[in-house]
Copies of this chain bind each other. A is one copy, B any other.
Amino acid sequence: MLKKIGFYFKTSLLLTLASIFMVSCTKSPKESNLSNTGHPCLILTEQGVKNIKANLGNIPIFDTTLAEVKAEIDIEIENGIQVPIPKDYSGGYTHERHKKNFFVMQKAGVLFQILEEEAYAKYVRDMLFEYAKMYPTLPIHPKPRSYARGKLFWQCLNDSNWLVYTSQAYDCIYDYLTEAERLTLETDLFRPFADFISKENPKFFNRVHNHSTWGNAAVGMIALAMDDDSLLQRALYGYKEGKIDPNLKDDDGGYINRDGKMGFLANLYEPFSPDGYFTEGPYYQRYASYPFLIFAQALQNKRPDLKIFNYKDSVLIKSVSALINLSNVNGDFFLLNDAQKGMSYYSSSLVSAVDIAYHFGGNNRELLSVAEKQGKVALDDAGLAVALGIKEGKSKPFNKRSIELSDGPEGNQGAVGVIRSGDLELVYKYTAHGLSHGHFDKLSYALFDQGDEVVQDYGLARYVNIEQKGGGNYLKENKTWAKQTVAHNTIVQNETSHFQGKYDIGSKHHSKKYIFSCNDENLQVASAKDNNAYPGTQLQRTIVTIKDEDYDNPFVLDIMRATSKTSNQYDLPFYYLGQIMQTNFEYSKLESPEVLGKNNGYQHLYKEAMAKADGANVKLNWLLNNKFYTYTAITSKGDDIIFGRIGANDPDYNLRNEPTLTLRKENTKDALFVSTIESHGTYSPVSEFALNAYSNVKTIEVTHNSMKYSGVKIEMTNGKQKLFFISNENNEVNKEHTLSSEDIKYIWKGPYTFINLN
């Protein structure tokens, strides 16, 4: 049966899409391209299964993965089927069981295709019939916390997870089932299930949001498995009848659907920039990448004419490389917006993502080395391609370089800049807000050294799936602490967060790229501006890494500039991790810590010690993981230096008690915070030998500061002097600048210059 699919473009956005998405728009709306090539057709194809069988035993990484999965599923089959009446939150038994069931069914389905052992098909069928028996009688899930409660789980999001995986299982055993069995499953389970998460939950389904992506993919995958054209349209374009009041806001204060955008294609267009950056950040991209890529794979297999992987200049393929570039040397993702530490490209969703990007994205050999590190592959056509590529020795190291990734659907809403220099990886954030998971952290950064986070981004305040911590869900401290500006390494004006900490204001704005120049590995510069975080105040931060032949490691120069119409208090927190070794100034510790402030995150900080700057450089020397670091900062006489610690007003020990050093300027219109950060030495607790325990920076000073230019001089302990000038108003590469500073005339071309004075 040839079904028909139509493409309607109702909004200007979708008109834009039309020009990018290479669909066959000349066809009439009633014409369809749903092919009828039989099953499996989602992640496996008939030809793919043949190829896999032909290669089995000769594709080591595939064979190993297959053996592991088989061992796991054989135990599950032996343990028997459990389909309990839903009642728990995540972490609880019924939640974890249903979650396990969909993973297990997907794997059992794949095993049936590859190994042709009926036991796997029977297991899937029997479990599906348990669900088909239960589903028609199921009420809404009893746990009330979600805005869109599911039936199997407490939220539709998890129900959608279930359907994305289970569709694949159904596809794998489709031909094993009788027509009557298929009719029962589709009638009692799949169609009502798809309707429930779409028609009955438009606030969940009809939105641009990672939740909707899962919902769209779920409906789309089962549509493809069932060959249902109208369901597929719903998946791709949303449930048109489910209109949402454009003024409706969600818990975060953002509009649920202001402009009517919905469906998988809108969800694919909106959050990804042309560079493949996902606006919520890598942690959520990792989560969303599975439905994006698995549904895309299924579409490519079943509807190759849609050329989904070409969509928006191959954004899905780009997004996988972008995501890998947003991981540190160990593969752990940088923490941008809500993100839990330790998430990495070893996540199983990234195994599929990497394999799919390789198979459908032009066989990028660098992806093979990531797959090798992952040590497993997807058990499908894409995984086979990767396994063969590795076997044939095509793997090449994934070469992570400094990179700027634009944000926003059109790539014009700021960016994230990653500077890599020696063992340092610096992540500088000047993006858009990042939807509901965004933090109020304009122009913040974090610094890694050989994969260790040295100047940290706190991440989220949540222990994901650890039930004893608030059911494993977001903790209230995520809003009162983790999202607030003071929880980040960026400037806070008058103890208020950027955009007053309001999502609906923050989501209207983005920072602006100014410079990203990383071709010279000895001098890499990223600079960005933000004029909206505090109306009336202009912020510009310039981060430079300098590699000097006299020293083993590069160091960081940070210039944070604020100019305002009004006098303000400016705080610049510095979230170093480790133990203080020494400062070059006297400080007084309080007898007991005091709470630093009343709100906007300040209520979660203790003040432990204080010092008044005398106008000289301040130095903080500390030790982390047997490496010595020094922060050197220019101060003005009278600046406050505050030693703080996270953990105040934290009745349940939800926060980590980690330190910070904050520089505070009071009653200031224009402020220039300048500092260097060095990783200069090492300690061995075995030989007890301290190597280069002291900073190599003797002094830093501001030599020039005007609206047009800023200049900083750095003198090293070996006597060498360096000068850095930046134009604050013109970033043209060919613009010539002339500046007189300290009786010397400097002339250079481009937005900055760096001079070794001796």
A contacts, CB < 8 Å to B: 91, 340-344, 346-348, 463-469, 472, 579-582, 588-589, 591-595, 606, 621, 623, 626, 645, 648-653, 656-657, 683, 685-690, 693-694
In this complex, what residue of B is CB-closest to A656?
B579
Of A464, A582, A686, most buried by chain B (CB within 10 Å of CB) is A686
What 3 pairs across the A-B complex have the smallest Cβ distances? A342-B685, A468-B582, A580-B653
Q: Which residue of B581, B606, B687 is within 8 Å of A347 (Cβ)?
A: B687
Of A464, A581, A683, most buried by chain B (CB within 10 Å of CB) is A581
Q: Which residue of B340, B621, B689 is within 8 Å of A688 (Cβ)?
A: B340
A45 CB to nearest B CB, Å:
28
A651 to B648, CA, bound (A): 20
Complex interface: chain B residues within 8 A of A469 (CB):
581-582
Q: Kindly report how many copies of this chain are found in the complex they form together.
A: 2
A594 to B593, CA, bound (A): 8
Q: Is the CB of B343 within 8 A of A466?
A: no
Complex interface: chain B residues within 8 A of A593 (CB):
592-593, 606
Given known pairs A593-B592, A595-B592, A687-B347, the reply for A693 and B657 (CB within 8 Å) is no
Complex interface: chain B residues within 8 A of A626 (CB):
342
A480 to B648, CA, bound (A): 27
A343 to B606, CA, bound (A): 33
Q: Is the CB of A343 within 8 A of B648?
A: no
Q: Is the CB of B657 within 8 A of A581?
A: no
Given known pairs A580-B653, A589-B651, A685-B343, the reply for A472 and B690 (CB within 8 Å) is yes
Q: Is the CB of A688 within 8 A of B465?
A: yes
Q: Is the CB of B690 within 8 A of A467?
A: yes
A641 CB to nearest B CB, Å:
14
A651 to B626, CA, bound (A): 22
Of A582, A626, A690, A694, most buried by chain B (CB within 10 Å of CB) is A690
Of A592, A688, A693, most buried by chain B (CB within 10 Å of CB) is A688
Q: Which residue of B606, B623, B683, B693 is within 8 Å of A592 (Cβ)?
A: B606
A97 CB to nearest B CB, Å:
13
Q: Is the CB of B464 within 8 A of A688?
A: yes
Complex interface: chain B residues within 8 A of A91 (CB):
690, 693
A378 to B626, CA, bound (A): 26
Given known pairs A472-B690, A657-B657, A688-B465, the reply for A648 and B592 (CB within 8 Å) is yes
Complex interface: chain B residues within 8 A of A581 (CB):
463, 466, 468-469
**27 A–B contacts, CB within 8 A, in A order:** A91-B693, A340-B685, A341-B685, A342-B626, A343-B685, A343-B686, A347-B686, A348-B687, A463-B623, A465-B688, A465-B689, A465-B690, A466-B693, A468-B581, A468-B582, A468-B621, A468-B693, A579-B653, A579-B656, A580-B653, A591-B648, A591-B649, A592-B593, A592-B594, A593-B593, A645-B657, A657-B657
Complex interface: chain B residues within 8 A of A595 (CB):
591-592
Q: Is the CB of B690 within 8 A of A346?
A: no
A396 CB to nearest B CB, Å:
24
Complex interface: chain B residues within 8 A of A340 (CB):
685, 688
Q: Is the CB of B466 within 8 A of A683?
A: yes
Q: Is the CB of B621 within 8 A of A693?
A: no
A588 CB to nearest B CB, Å:
8
Contacts beyond the supplied A342-B685, A466-B623, A593-B606: 10 A-B pairs with Cβ under 8 Å: A340-B685, A340-B688, A341-B685, A347-B686, A348-B687, A466-B683, A467-B690, A468-B581, A592-B595, A645-B657
A657 to B500, CA, bound (A): 33
Complex interface: chain B residues within 8 A of A464 (CB):
688
A648 CB to nearest B CB, Å:
7
A245 CB to nearest B CB, Å:
34
In this complex, what residue of B is CB-closest to A591?
B595
Complex interface: chain B residues within 8 A of A466 (CB):
581, 623, 683, 690, 693
Complex interface: chain B residues within 8 A of A344 (CB):
685-686
Q: Is the CB of A686 within 8 A of B346?
A: yes
A582 to B589, CA, bound (A): 31
A685 to B344, CA, bound (A): 8
A344 to B685, CA, bound (A): 8
A690 CB to nearest B CB, Å:
5
Given known pairs A347-B686, A595-B592, the reply for A467 and B656 (CB within 8 Å) is no
A510 CB to nearest B CB, Å:
29
Complex interface: chain B residues within 8 A of A580 (CB):
652-653
A288 CB to nearest B CB, Å:
15
A683 to B91, CA, bound (A): 12
A656 CB to nearest B CB, Å:
6
A606 to B606, CA, bound (A): 13
A120 CB to nearest B CB, Å:
23
Complex interface: chain B residues within 8 A of A645 (CB):
657
A327 CB to nearest B CB, Å:
12
Q: Is the CB of B656 within 8 A of A693?
A: no
In this complex, what residue of B is CB-closest to A100?
B689
A645 to B656, CA, bound (A): 13
In this complex, what residue of B is CB-closest to A647?
B608
Complex interface: chain B residues within 8 A of A591 (CB):
595, 648-649
A348 CB to nearest B CB, Å:
7
A649 to B342, CA, bound (A): 34
A301 CB to nearest B CB, Å:
27
In this complex, what residue of B is CB-closest to A350?
B686
Complex interface: chain B residues within 8 A of A648 (CB):
591-592
Complex interface: chain B residues within 8 A of A651 (CB):
588-589
Complex interface: chain B residues within 8 A of A650 (CB):
589
A649 to B343, CA, bound (A): 38
Complex interface: chain B residues within 8 A of A579 (CB):
653, 656
Complex interface: chain B residues within 8 A of A592 (CB):
592-595, 606, 648
Of A588, A645, A657, A694, most buried by chain B (CB within 10 Å of CB) is A657
A41 to B343, CA, bound (A): 58
